[in-house]
């Protein structure tokens, strides 16, 4: 693949920035930040600091604040820059814009106004945590931040109980113990879970344990820094043979017996052997 370093065309580029380690920025992100006519950021100080670290000069280019509280006011201003043929780069405070961060309304407004939107992808805590947590990654559900109020939080957790994938939550360190206690109660204290803390930073830490154990340990000493909570899918007794058979039928349309069995076993979080045996039987029937 050839690196594309050609000048920046007019339009909006959503730029991912590091979630901790300042070197976790892509070469393309640096190119975009160096070349865009106008820079906009959720936290202008954080972006200026990042530019300084990487030796990207502003040369008089504006760095405009665009965040939750001023979006409605700023969008027309940013659209006017695009109308004038300018290139605009937007970065949220950390990680990927729009992932529990602002940027969605801006990108939509730009698209609706008919200007190009592109992405310079990079770090995000959800993917970084998933790669480290030791929980299945074949399917996951990013639930962002749960409500702060206990009753609403429990209701939201209840809605996620049967999601057939790893659940990923962002949480503030102050609330993580309460959130884990509610999760243990609603999802079951034995569910395998993990807390990923201070990812890519000096005190990066990963704790893996059943929900109830994690809840207890963080109740005793709340964590410092940023955290992501991950919870394994429910190993539901509710998975019926019918569900497995139906999924195998679909998988066998396009996959070999072994791949279909691996895929379906991972999807439901169940043992491979019986699924493989069932898949073999089904394939035999199919072959007549």
Residues in contact with ligand SAM by CB under 6 A are: 19-20, 92, 94-96, 99-101, 124-126, 170-172, 196-201, 226-228
CB nearer ligand SAM, residue 70 or residue 250 = 70
CB nearer ligand SAM, residue 81 or residue 198 = 198
Q: Which residue has the tokens 């052997």?
A: 273
* Pair of tokens at residue 38: 């106008």
- Give the nearest residue (CB) to ligand SAM: 95
Gap between the Cα atoms of 74 and 81, Å rounded: 11
In the complex, minimum distance from the CB of residue 102 to ligand SAM, in angstroms, rounded to a whole number: 9
CA distances from 120 to 16, 67, 178, 179, 254 (A): 6, 19, 36, 33, 33
In the complex, minimum distance from the CB of residue 245 to ligand SAM, in angstroms, rounded to a whole number: 38
In the complex, minimum distance from the CB of residue 127 to ligand SAM, in angstroms, rounded to a whole number: 8
Q: Residue 88: which of 54, 43, 40, 121 has the closest Cα?
A: 40
In the complex, minimum distance from the CB of residue 118 to ligand SAM, in angstroms, rounded to a whole number: 17
In the complex, minimum distance from the CB of residue 12 to ligand SAM, in angstroms, rounded to a whole number: 17
The shares of helix, strand and coil residues in the chain, as percent rounded to the nearest 5, are 45, 20, 40
**Half-sphere exposure of 69 toward its Cβ, with a 13 Å CA cutoff?**
2
Gap between the Cα atoms of 93 and 242, Å rounded: 47
CB nearer ligand SAM, residue 81 or residue 226 = 226
In the complex, minimum distance from the CB of residue 65 to ligand SAM, in angstroms, rounded to a whole number: 16
To 5 degrees, how large is the angle CA 67–CA 70–CA 74?
A: 100
In the complex, minimum distance from the CB of residue 126 to ligand SAM, in angstroms, rounded to a whole number: 6
In the complex, minimum distance from the CB of residue 63 to ligand SAM, in angstroms, rounded to a whole number: 19
CB nearer ligand SAM, residue 176 or residue 275 = 176
Packing angle, helices 241-254 and 257-268, rounded to 10: 140
Given a contact cutoff of 8 angstroms between Cβ atoms, the answer to whether 193 and 230 are in contact is yes
Strands (E), the chain: 11-15, 38-41, 63-65, 87-91, 117-120, 140-145, 166-171, 192-197, 205-210, 227-231
CB nearer ligand SAM, residue 14 or residue 79 = 14
CB nearer ligand SAM, residue 18 or residue 269 = 18
CB nearer ligand SAM, residue 19 or residue 252 = 19
Gap between the Cα atoms of 120 and 100, Å rounded: 17
CB nearer ligand SAM, residue 88 or residue 228 = 228
């Amino acid at each position: 693949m050839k690196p594309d370093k050609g000048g920046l065309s007019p339009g909006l580029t959503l730029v991912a920035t590091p979630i901790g380690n300042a070197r976790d920025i892509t070469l393309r992100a640096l190119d975009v930040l160096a070349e865009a006519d106008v820079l906009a950021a959720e936290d202008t100080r954080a972006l200026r600091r990042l530019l300084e670290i990487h030796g990207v000069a502003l040369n008089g280019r504006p760095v405009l604040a665009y965040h939750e509280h001023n979006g409605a006011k700023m969008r027309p201003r940013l659209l006017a820059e695009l109308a004038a043929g300018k290139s605009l780069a937007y970065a949220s405070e950390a990680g990927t814009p729009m992932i529990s961060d602002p940027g969605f309304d801006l990108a939509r407004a730009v698209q609706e106004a008919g200007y190009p939107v592109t992405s310079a992808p990079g770090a995000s805590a959800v993917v970084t945590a998933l790669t480290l947590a030791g929980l299945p990654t074949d399917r996951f559900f990013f639930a962002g931040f749960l409500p702060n109020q206990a009753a609403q939080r429990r209701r939201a957790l209840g809605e996620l109980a049967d999601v057939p994938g790893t659940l990923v939550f962002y949480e503030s360190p102050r609330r993580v113990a309460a959130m884990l206690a509610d999760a243990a109660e609603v999802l079951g204290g034995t569910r395998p879970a993990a807390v990923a803390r201070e990812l890519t930073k000096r005190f990066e830490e990963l704790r893996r344990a059943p929900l109830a154990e994690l809840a207890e340990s963080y109740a005793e000493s709340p964590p410092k820094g940023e955290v992501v909570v991950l919870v394994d899918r429910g190993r539901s007794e509710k998975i019926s043979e019918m569900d497995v058979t139906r999924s195998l039928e679909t998988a066998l349309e396009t996959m070999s017996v072994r791949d279909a069995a691996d895929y379906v076993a991972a999807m439901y979080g169940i043992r491979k052997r019986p699924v493989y045996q069932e898949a073999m039987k089904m394939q035999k029937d199919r072959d007549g």
